[in-house]
Every structure is written in C-alpha cells, then in structure tokens.
C-alpha cells in the first residue's frame, strides 16, 4: 500500500512530509490503521512533542469500475505525547488504536522520558455512594479537584525538569512545596477513591481475617477505632486527612492525621496508608455544610475494607 | 453592644464582663448565652469575674452581599462557623483562669505564644479574623481605594493593578486553608500582601492588617464550588470595603510613621 504523511504545525504550515510504500494489507481498514500508526511513529522520529489532531483520508481502493474517492475522517485526539526511549509497539488491532486515540485522558507518555500523570477512573459511578456522599460532591471532587492537583503536579514536574537541566538550585528548592502539595494531593486522592465503594459492592462491611484481628489487638474493637478516627478527624484544624496506617517496622496499626495534602509518609517513613478520609471542606461541604462529624459518621457506610485488607496483607509480610 | 466592666477598653473589643457585687444590675444584653443568663440570675455570692466573648453581627444584613456572597453562605459562615468558634472559645476559657480580662487582640497574641500556639489560639484567632473579615466587606464595595490608601498602594506596589494581581496570585497559590491580607508592616513601614495558613493572622507579628480575604473553602464553596479565581475577583471587584480600609489606615498611621503628610499648597 502507498502511504503519504503530511505534518503541519498549529498554524497550518507544512513542516514535514513523507511518502512511502508499506506492505500490502488485507483490508482498507487495516490500511487506515497502519497509516495512522506510521504517522505517529514518524512524528516521534522527527522529535515532535505533541500532536493535536490527526486527519486520515480514507484509503482508496481502485477497482476497474468505480473512480477513486476521498473522504476525510478526523480523529479528535487530545494531546498525544510520544516516548523517545523506544519505538512504540504496534497495538494489536486498529480498533485498539482508535480507542487509544479517542480516550479522554492524556496518554501519559512523555517525550523526554518524563512521565506525566493522568486522572485515574473511578471504579464506580459518581452517584453510587449516595446517600453517604452525594454525586455532586463526587463529581466535583474527582473531576475538578483531583484533576487540578494532577495538572499542577505535571506542571511543577515540568518546571522541575527544566530547573534540573539548568542546575538552578533556587528554583529546584522553590518547587518542592508545589510538588509536595500537588503530588501529595494526587497520591492521597488516588488512595481515597479505592477506599470507597458502593454499598452494593461491599461498602461498609466490617473487616475480617488478619486486619480485623489486628484492629481488635491494637484498638480493642472496630467501634473504638471508628470513634478514634472520627474524633481526630473532627478535631483537625483547617484542611487535612485522617489515616489508618500500618507501621511496617513495628507491625502496629496507627491512627494519624496529616495537614493539607501531606501524604502519610510525612508522619513516619515506615507508615503505609490502609484507609484515608479526606476532611478538606470540599469533601463534604455541599452536603453536610459545616457539620464535619456527620460526614465522618456516614462515610463508614461506604468504606471499602477489602482494599485495606489487601494492602495490609501485602505490607505486613 | 453594651457591656459592663471596671476597666476601660477600646470599643473594638467585644468583651462582656459580669460581676456579682451586691446591688449591681446589668442590662439585658443581646446574644447572651444560656449560661450567662444563669450567672446573672444567680443570687449575689462570690464576686468572681468571668470573661466571655459574644458573637458580633456583620455591619450589614445577611443578604446584603447578594449576588456575590449569598445569604446561605453568610448564614452558614457567620451563623455556623463563626458562632462555633465563639462558643468553642468561651468553653475553653471557662477551664482556664489565666486568659481572661484580655481584649481580643491581646488574647490572640498571648495564645499564639510566639509560634507555639495554645489550644485556645485557633478559636480566638478565628473569631478575630472573622470579625475583621465581615468588616472588610460592604454591599456595593469593590472599585478603587481613594486618597491616602491609594497613594500608599501606589507607592508600595507601583500601581493598583499590580497590587490587585499580587493579591489574587497570593489567594490562588495558598495551599490548604488560610487567609490573604493587605497589611501595613510596622518595621518596614510599608504595605504588603501576605498569606497565612489556617488561623494565623498578622497581629501575631505585630503588623497592622488593612484588608483580609477568607480562603478557607467554607467561605466560597457554596457559591463558587471550586472556582477560587472567580471568588477572589468578585471580592476585589464587588465586595471589598475601601472605606473601612481608609479608616484602618488612618488609625494605623498613628502607630507607624509613614513619612510626612502631603500638605497641598494653597
């Protein structure tokens, strides 16, 4: 098959072109996919940072009877970044390729080997945690707040990379607080989404097995633990998180609070978070207004103890 | 806001001192908590002095700041959060003997304890901060400062636009909960924009605040959800009270020498 690739910059000026002949393919659909793939590889080869739009012309198949025709198929893809380390492997099918391109989140492959982070999907609908946490809060929390942390984290990392390359120590040090805040926000919220699950999928079911036993040993009973977490969460001034953590060194369970978006490790390098509850006001204000204790009381109905058990099992070995 | 006490104190504090010397009858005060009413109706016995703080109303109706700050926000913010801070503070003060007799300003400085805050600091500082915040806004506010304040801003920031940019930037880059202030720095004798976390306020560094903006999420979440930028811009365009700022600057100039006044030549 014959493949022609034209690369234009964002103003429409042609910056590169490529004509080549590829191996014959069985269907026009496969030809489309292969041409698309070759175009992406070409962009990576010439060192492009990001590709915004890929326009495919439908492959022409010549037969004796019908004249050739052209039609435009536009793939709207959000910013694609290309790796520089290795040639990306061919996806298994053209359909996989299309879904790769039309995904709403960025692909997370940096050009200079810098990984960019993307918003993880929620394993449940926004409204699935009602009435403990309203769908409105979940949507804002996930789609706006968490996304903002990720965006700013990526930005800070990019700036850090630039500062590192220049050896600009002042900037490197100045960026640390932004990285701690936004990166911490990303870590904490990623754990938080896994800590919650709808009631119909086991939310609120008390823990059993090793973790249940450990809770009884460390705190007396689950009720005592819940009381402790709720009181520490309610007493926290300002914004922060309240955690149930495992101290890997002493093998004990601990209840800790962290301020702002500090991850649990800032309270102890051997601490592993099992459960975290966000007590920033954005996590509950629209529904519970200023009554944080009510939020803390109700969130236990959707807590995913299965995840905590998994992490506990893995980390307590 | 009437109150009885033996010592004179500046009108800006809201200290209510009750005393039970015989023949002493104090008037019915608004916002008297149930407990205070019990104290008043008790027969004369011990002449112990208790200090309590009351919840001061904002100088405008709760729906006066619509549509920029809804009545619902004010009800929850003033009636919920601010009131909780006042009641929490009163509860804490019941237990300690050392801390009463102070004006609000003194209480904030004393409980800050030079960086090692006492447990009462949070409540005391937040009560002070919120009083200051309600006063810093007015219906029909915003616009530009006038006369002396504008001159000082232009002297210290270059232009009003520059100051506004700095203020908005400080508000948007604040991590977590906190406040943004326009302060008159005592040592440096100039205006500055500073941001503080949680309950800290510039009084603890002996600076004089002129304007404040509450960047705790409860201040804007009901109206603007997570759109902090819009909230800050609305505050600067429509809510901030430069009249109050002028008054505060005038008072501050009694303590900080900002240079010779510009006397117009006739």
pLDDT of residue B96 exceeding 90: no
Percent of chain B whose pLDDT exceeds 90: 50
Q: Which positions in chain A touch B197 (Cβ < 8 Å)?
A: 238
Give the mean pLDDT of chain B: 81
pLDDT of residue A11 exceeding 50: yes
Q: Which positions in chain B touch A181 (Cβ < 8 Å)?
A: 175-176
Question: If pLDDT is split at 50, 70 and 90, which confidence band does A315 have?
Answer: confident
Contact A290 B225 (CB under 8 A): no
Q: Which two tokens stand for residue B215?
A: 């960047």
Residue scoring higher pLDDT (B221 or B26): B221
pLDDT of residue B33: 53
pLDDT of residue B25 exceeding 90: no
Q: Å from B216 to nearest chain A CA? A: 8
Contact B221 A282 (CB under 8 A): yes
Contact A289 B216 (CB under 8 A): no
Rounded average pLDDT over B50-70: 86
Asked if residues A186 and A289 have their Cβ atoms less than 8 Å apart, the reply is no
Q: What are the pLDDT digits (tens) for A139-149?
A: 999 999 999 99
Asked if residues B65 and B239 have their Cβ atoms less than 8 Å apart, the reply is yes
Count helices and strands (H / E) in chain A: 11, 7
Q: Which domains does chain A have, with CATH numbers?
A: 10-107 (no CATH), 126-194 (1.10.287.990), 199-315 (3.55.40.20)
Q: Å from B199 to nearest chain A CA? A: 8
Query: Whose CA is closest to B218, among B57, B54, B60, B75?
Result: B75
B226 in reach of chain A (CB within 8 A): yes
* Chain B 108-137, residues with CB within 8 Å of chain A CB atoms: 122
Least confident of A199-213, A257-271, B183-197, B250-264: B250-264
Enter the ipTM.
0.76
List CB contacts of B46: < 8 A, sequence separation 6 or more: B20
Contact A285 B80 (CB under 8 A): no
Q: Which residue has the tokens 């300003």?
A: B105
Rounded average pLDDT over A25-46: 79
Contact B225 A140 (CB under 8 A): yes
pLDDT of residue A79: 39
B165 in reach of chain A (CB within 8 A): no
Asked if residues B144 and B171 have their Cβ atoms less than 8 Å apart, the reply is no
Query: Whose CA is closest to A302, among A224, A231, A199, A160?
Result: A199
pLDDT of residue A57: 66
Rounded average pLDDT over B72-98: 89
Q: What are the pLDDT digits (tens) for B108-155?
A: 988 888 888 888 899 999 999 999 999 999 998 888 888 888 988 998
Contact A285 B177 (CB under 8 A): no
Query: Whose CA is closest to A82, among A38, A34, A48?
Result: A48
Q: Å from B213 to nearest chain A CA? A: 15
Question: If pLDDT is split at 50, 70 and 90, which confidence band does B26 have?
Answer: very low
Quick one: three-class SS letters along A239-285? CEEEEEEEECCCCEEEEEEEECCCCHHHHCCCEEEEEEEECCHHHCH
Point out the residue among B81, B197, B226 whose CB comes nearest to the CB of A290.
B81
Q: What are the pLDDT digits (tens) for B204-260?
A: 999 999 999 999 999 999 999 989 999 999 999 999 999 999 999 999 988 888 877
pLDDT of residue A195 exceeding 90: yes
Q: What are the pLDDT digits (tens) for A207-235?
A: 888 899 999 999 999 999 999 999 999 99
pLDDT of residue B10: 39
Exposure of B195 in the CB half-sphere (CA atoms within 13 A): 17
Bond before B67 cis per omega within 30 degrees: yes
Residue scoring higher pLDDT (A15 or A301): A301
Asked if residues A244 and A304 have their Cβ atoms less than 8 Å apart, the reply is no
Q: Which positions in chain B touch A260 (Cβ < 8 Å)?
A: 175-176
Asked if residues B208 and B184 have their Cβ atoms less than 8 Å apart, the reply is yes
Q: Å from B73 to nearest chain A CA? A: 10
Chain B interface, best mutation among A237, A257, A260, A293, by max B CB count within 10 A: A237
The DSSP bridge partners found for residue B179 are: B196, B214
Q: Which residues of A touch B (CB under 8 A)?
A: 140, 144-145, 148, 177, 181, 237-240, 259-261, 280-282, 285-286, 289-290
Contact A239 B226 (CB under 8 A): no
pLDDT of residue A309 exceeding 70: yes
């Amino acid at each position: 098959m014959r493949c022609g690739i034209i690369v234009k910059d964002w103003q429409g000026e042609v910056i590169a072109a490529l004509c080549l002949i590829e191996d014959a393919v069985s269907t026009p659909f496969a030809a489309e996919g292969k041409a698309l793939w070759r175009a992406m590889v070409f962009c990576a080869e010439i060192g492009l940072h990001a590709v915004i739009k890929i326009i495919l012309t439908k492959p022409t198949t010549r037969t004796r009877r019908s004249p050739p025709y052209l039609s435009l198929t536009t793939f709207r893809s959000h910013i694609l970044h290309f790796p520089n380390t290795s040639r990306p492997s061919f996806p298994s099918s053209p359909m996989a390729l299309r879904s790769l391109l039309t995904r709403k989140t960025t692909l997370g492959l940096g050009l200079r080997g810098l990984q960019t982070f993307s918003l993880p999907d929620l394993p449940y609908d926004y409204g699935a945690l009602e009435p403990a946490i309203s769908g409105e809060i979940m949507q804002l929390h996930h789609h706006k707040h968490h996304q903002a942390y990720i965006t700013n984290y990526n930005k800070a990392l990019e700036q850090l990379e630039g500062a590192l390359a220049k050896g600009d120590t002042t900037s490197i040090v100045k960026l640390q607080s932004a990285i701690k805040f936004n990166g911490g926000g990303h870590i904490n919220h990623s754990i938080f989404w896994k800590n919650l699950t709808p009631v119909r999928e086991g939310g609120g079911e008390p823990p059993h097995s090793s973790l249940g036993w450990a809770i009884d040993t460390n705190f007396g009973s689950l009720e005592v633990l819940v009381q402790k977490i709720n009181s520490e969460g309610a007493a926290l001034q300002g914004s922060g998180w309240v955690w149930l953590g495992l101290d890997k060194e002493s093998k004990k369970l601990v209840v800790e609070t962290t301020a702002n978006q500090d991850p649990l490790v800032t309270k102890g390098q051997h601490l592993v978070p099992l459960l975290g509850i966000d007590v920033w006001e954005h996590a509950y204000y629209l529904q519970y207004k200023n009554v944080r204790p009510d939020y803390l009381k109700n969130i236990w109905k959707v807590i995913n103890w299965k995840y905590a058990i998994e992490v506990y099992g893995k980390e307590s070995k | 806001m009437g109150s009885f006490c033996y010592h004179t104190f500046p009108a800006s504090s809201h200290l209510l001192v009750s005393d039970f010397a015989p023949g002493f009858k104090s008037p019915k005060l608004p916002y008297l908590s149930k407990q205070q009413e019990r104290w008043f109706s008790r027969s004369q016995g011990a002449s112990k002095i208790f200090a309590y703080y009351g919840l001061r109303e904002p100088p405008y109706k709760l729906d006066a700041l619509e549509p920029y700050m809804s009545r619902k926000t004010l009800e929850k913010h003033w009636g919920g959060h601010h009131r909780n801070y006042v009641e929490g503070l009163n509860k804490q003060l019941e237990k300690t003997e050392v801390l009463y007799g102070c004006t609000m300003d003194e209480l904030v400085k004393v409980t800050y304890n030079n960086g090692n805050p006492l447990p009462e600091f949070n409540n005391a500082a937040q009560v002070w901060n919120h009083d200051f915040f309600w006063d810093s806004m007015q219906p029909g506010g915003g616009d530009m400062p006038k006369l002396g304040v504008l001159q000082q801003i232009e002297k210290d920031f270059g232009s009003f636009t520059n100051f506004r940019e700095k203020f908005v930037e400080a508000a948007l880059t604040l991590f977590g909960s906190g406040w943004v202030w326009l302060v008159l720095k005592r040592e440096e004798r100039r205006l500055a924009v500073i941001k503080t976390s949680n309950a800290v306020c510039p009084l603890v560094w002996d600076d004089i605040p002129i304007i404040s903006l509450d960047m705790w999420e409860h201040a804007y979440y009901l109206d603007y959800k997570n759109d902090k930028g819009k909230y800050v811009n609305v505050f600067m365009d429509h809510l901030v009270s430069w009249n109050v700022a002028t008054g505060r600057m005038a008072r501050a100039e009694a303590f900080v020498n900002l240079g010779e006044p510009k006397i117009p030549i006739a």
